[in-house]
């Protein structure tokens, strides 16, 4: 699955004008997208607090069969974060020349491989019944954190303020 994501991501990055591969129009995805946007808007600078908000609500709604719902709920939220990640990578690549875009694609593909290995390793240390949910949860957290990192990096920076006085050198 990670190899497929990397291939799709590379294709999406190569075709800069194309819509993100994860851009779907299902009612559930649209509702999840709106819920995440609302959380991010109200989180007042602590965007990482929104990671897991959709998955946790989904697992709670599963009732007694929570363990079986973990992987599906995590993948459901990951789809929303992955959309944001692909958009953030595309945004990051727009001002770059072709060589730098190629490096960005290579970096992102390496990151995807790292996440796949990290989360598979983490899941392998869990009891067999917990592995799918734990791996999906790990991938969700990693994708969300990467999306937030790239979104922060691509925001316009305020111009640096000049100090009112030159710095004092203390000896």
Judged by DSSP in three states, 22 sits in: coil
Residue range 64-122, pLDDT digits in tens: 888 889 999 999 999 999 999 999 999 999 999 999 999 999 999 999 999 999 999 99
Which segments of 26-158 does DSSP mark as H helices, in order?
Answer: 27-42, 53-61, 66-93, 98-124, 131-154
Residue 51 confidence (pLDDT): 96
Task: Give the end-to-end CA distance of the chain in Å, rounded to a whole number.
Answer: 59
Please tell me the distance from the alpha carbon of residue 50 to that of residue 38, in angstroms, as a whole number: 9
Residue range 135-161, pLDDT digits in tens: 999 999 999 999 999 998 887 765 666
Is pLDDT above 80 for 2? no
Residue pair 142/118 in contact (Cβ under 8 Å)? The answer is yes
Judged by DSSP in three states, 61 sits in: helix
Residue 130 confidence (pLDDT): 87
Q: What one-character DSSP code corresponds to residue 128?
A: G
Residue pair 102/118 in contact (Cβ under 8 Å)? The answer is no
pTM of the predicted structure, to 2 decimals: 0.77
């Amino acid at each position: 699955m990670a190899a497929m994501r990397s291939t799709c991501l590379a294709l999406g990055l190569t075709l800069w004008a194309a819509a993100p591969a994860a851009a779907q129009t299902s009612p559930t995805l649209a509702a999840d997208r709106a819920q995440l946007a609302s959380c991010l808007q109200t989180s007042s600078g602590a965007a990482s607090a929104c990671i897991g908000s959709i998955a946790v609500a989904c697992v709670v709604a599963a009732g007694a069969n929570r363990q079986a719902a973990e992987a599906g709920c995590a993948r459901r939220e990951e789809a929303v974060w992955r959309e944001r990640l692909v958009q953030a990578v595309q945004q990051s690549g727009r001002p770059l020349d072709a060589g730098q875009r190629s490096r960005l694609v290579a970096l992102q593909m390496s990151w995807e491989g790292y996440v796949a290995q990290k989360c598979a390793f983490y899941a392998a240390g869990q009891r067999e019944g917990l592995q799918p949910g734990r791996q999906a949860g790990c991938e969700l957290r990693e994708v969300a954190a990467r999306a937030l990192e790239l979104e922060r990096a691509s925001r316009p920076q305020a111009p640096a303020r000049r100090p009112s006085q030159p710095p004092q050198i203390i000896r």
